A = this chain, B = another copy of it.
Amino acid sequence: MRILVTNDDGINAPGIVMLERAAQRLGAEVVVVAPEQQHSAQSHAITIGKPMFARELPLTHGESRRIAIEGTPCDCVRLALIKLLDFKPDLCLSGINHGGNLGWNIFFSGTVSAAAEAHSFGVPSIAFSLARWSPGIQWEGIDVVAANLIRRLLAAKHSRPDWLYNVNLPDLAPDKIQGVRLTRQNPVVKGDNFEERRSPDGRRYFWPVWDEVTAARHRKDQADFDTTAIEEGFISLTPMRYEVTHTDEPGVLSAMEGFHAT
């Protein structure tokens, strides 16, 4: 088994080493292709109109290759699958992100987008995030948790190779984790705000901040939400498909009959 490992926190982030170790626990050959630098909240962004450097780095944890890209998480996946690798990986792992990727926020996530991009090339993929936003993550044992989860998914999905999951791990020591919940994306997670300030010469600028008051006002909880699983100490496992066509649109087709453009 050959596994492509990437992330959005950059190739030197501690979380990606945990995924490498998880892959190696499964006996897999590991190829790392990840951004040179931190690319959080870069979503599905790709580089266009300018070139990207790709650097082969020294191997550090028993990888077969370790390549740093001067680009976004999706650039890494695309460059790896289209150009850099001479094989199609059996699996793509993205993460482990420092911070949860839950609810609407998954659309901002480079970690989740990289997994979705690999899936679009027919590679089964899993995004991993650890739902702790403050500094100082205790990574010890997280590789074992991830390996155990991947092993179960591989066993369950053996007959259907085309899958994509968003996994969030609760901010708990591994032995305190309550189990795994099959979840769906919480559609409403809105706590974003901006703090307005003035530069010394009087220009307005805005710092993005997370606002707990706004978040509490919008908050909706349901037992099967990804956010709820994390709050209750479970691993959140969300099966995903990046198909955003909405079919339930009565009346629209008839409204377009006899449309005149001019």
Contact = CB atoms under 8 A, between A and B. Distances in A.
Interface of A: 40-55, 74, 78-79, 82-83, 104, 106-108, 113, 116, 120-121, 141, 144-145, 148-149, 152-153, 155-157, 163-164, 174-175, 177, 179-180, 182-185, 187, 190, 192-194, 196-197, 199, 203-208, 235, 237-247, 249, 251-256, 259-262
Contact of A253 (B49, B163, B182): B182
Contact of A194 (B82, B106, B238): B82
A142 B108 CA distance: 31
Contact of A261 (B42, B145, B153): B145
Given A194-B79, A235-B261, A245-B239, A157 B53 contact: no
Contacts of A49: 40, 208
Given A41-B48, A194-B79, A175 B249 contact: no
A204 B46 contact: no
Find the residue from A53, A251, A255 having the highest chain B CB count within 10 A: A255
- Copies of this chain present in the complex amount to 2
Contacts of A79: 194, 206
Given A108-B44, A156-B255, A205-B54, A148 B196 contact: no
Given A145-B261, A242-B107, A47 B51 contact: no
10 contacts: A41-B46, A55-B203, A55-B204, A74-B108, A104-B242, A148-B260, A149-B259, A152-B259, A153-B255, A174-B262
Contacts of A156: 251-252, 254-255
Contacts of A157: 251-252
Contacts of A108: 44-46, 74
